[in-house]
Amino acid sequence: MRKKRVEGEEYAPREPKTKSAAEALSALMRLCSRAEKSSGDALRLMYRWGVPVSERQGVLAKLIEMRFIDDARYAEAYTREKSEISGWGVRKIAQNLYQKGVSKDIVSRTLAMIEGDDQRDMLEKKLRRKLSSTKASSDYELRGKLLRYALSQGYDYDMSIDVIDLITKD
């Protein structure tokens, strides 16, 4: 519940609350037990909490040692969710994993799990749905809109062109 401001009364801006390394470890253990987190997520949270720079890597090492954080496990779960449920393409998934601090070798190993045929089927389904709701004055404009949509979803250019050719022939 917010306090009402009394006229003439000044409010001092809040100072950011800082956590010690032990408090951050405890908080991250709670968070990681509820949902998968990457090492990059943990470092960002510690930065926001004001954990001293010298102690962040130690906290992260403890979390990894106790298996609260495992970037490979995180990347597999993230990739499975985004490819099967959200229908994202390989490029968009990879970019988001890089942003979350997952290393390139883990990302490449994880993306190798995705089947090319599954990606193609998902792209075709998404583009057919998009085709029914897209308005365009010419075939050229329609194909451009579909291509931009496919690329924004993280799909490969060549695969996108092939699928657009397939569905616009109908």
What does the pLDDT average to over 85-114? 93
State the Cα–Cα distance between residues 126 and 83, nearest whole angstrom: 12
Tens of pLDDT, residue by residue over 20-72, are: 999 999 999 999 999 999 999 999 999 999 999 999 999 999 999 999 999 99
Q: Is the pTM of this model over 0.85?
A: no
Tens of pLDDT, residue by residue over 147-162, are: 999 999 999 999 999 9
CATH number of this structure's domain 71-111? 1.10.10
